[in-house]
Amino acid sequence: MKLQYLGHSFFKVLVNNFTVLIDPFINNTSTDEKFKSLVKCPITEKNAPKTDVILISQEQFDHFDKKAVEAIASRDNSVVVSHESVLRTLSLPQNNLRPVCSGETFSLRGIEFEIIPAHRPQSFYPMGFLIKHNGKQLFYAGDTDLTDHFAKLKPDVALLPIGGNITMDVIDAVRATKTMKPRFAIPMHYDTFGIIKADPNEFKQRIEKSILKTVPVILKPGEEFEF
């Protein structure tokens, strides 16, 4: 698997020639000053990669860029996977929509997807995703606090929010890492807005100083990581 960090909580995951986008966030539609973008997404809808599947973890503007999702899915005939409450707001054909609930698993082109519960009271139905292929597992936590579900997961790579206020902060993200013991841990959902300012190097240092064998990986928007 190869992943590319596209800022905030937006990732491209490439499995063979199958492309998955997770929580596209290209256009900031918020008028709230505290959610003014401090980091620009490195891609646009027009130059976004050809996409097979789009995973959307919840309905909030910084995870569900409706304009981008509709543009990319219409162009590429992508399957959009999310809770029904999100999918019914999209102007897309029904055969492009795949409603899911927590605990559900399904496969597309030999790639298995599992829907993992997330805890975020401000969202209607938040979720995370576990992507499995050829014995490798990638866990995308989404917007979440620390939960008991982490104890059931043993991914190779964990994508974890560290920004605090809205999600786990650095300390809880380290706790989540200690619970799951992934091979690699990648921080996300920080520094995009003023209220989620966090130091990814603190996350990295805390893991490196622990007894964990996990390797922390800090990605800048646009950078890639293969495992």
Q: For residue 206, what is the domain's CATH number? A: 3.60.15.10
Residue 199 falls within a domain, yes or no? yes
pLDDT for the residue numbered 120:
87
Range of the domain at 108: 2-219
Torsions phi, psi for 211 (to 5 deg): -85, 0
Residue 109 is predicted with a pLDDT of 80
Does residue 95 fall inside a structural domain? yes
Per-residue pLDDT of the chain (227 residues; tens, 9 = 90+): 999 999 999 999 999 889 999 999 999 999 999 999 999 999 999 999 999 999 999 999 999 999 999 999 999 999 999 999 999 999 999 999 999 999 999 998 889 999 999 998 888 999 999 999 999 999 999 999 999 999 999 999 999 999 999 999 999 999 999 999 999 999 999 999 999 999 999 999 999 999 999 999 999 999 999 99
Q: Is residue 208 part of a domain?
A: yes
Give me the pLDDT at residue 194, please: 94
Nearest residue to 155 via CA among 13, 8, 10: 13
Structural domain count of the chain = 1
pLDDT of residue 80: 98
Looking at the domain assignment, is residue 224 inside a domain?
no
DSSP string, 52-102: SEEE---SSTTT--HHHHHHHHHHHTPEEEE-HHHHTTS-S-GGGEEE--T
Provide the pLDDT for residue 123.
86
**Is residue 226 situated within a structural domain?**
no
Helices (H) then strands (E): counts for the chain: 4, 14
Question: Is 227 a member of any domain?
Answer: no
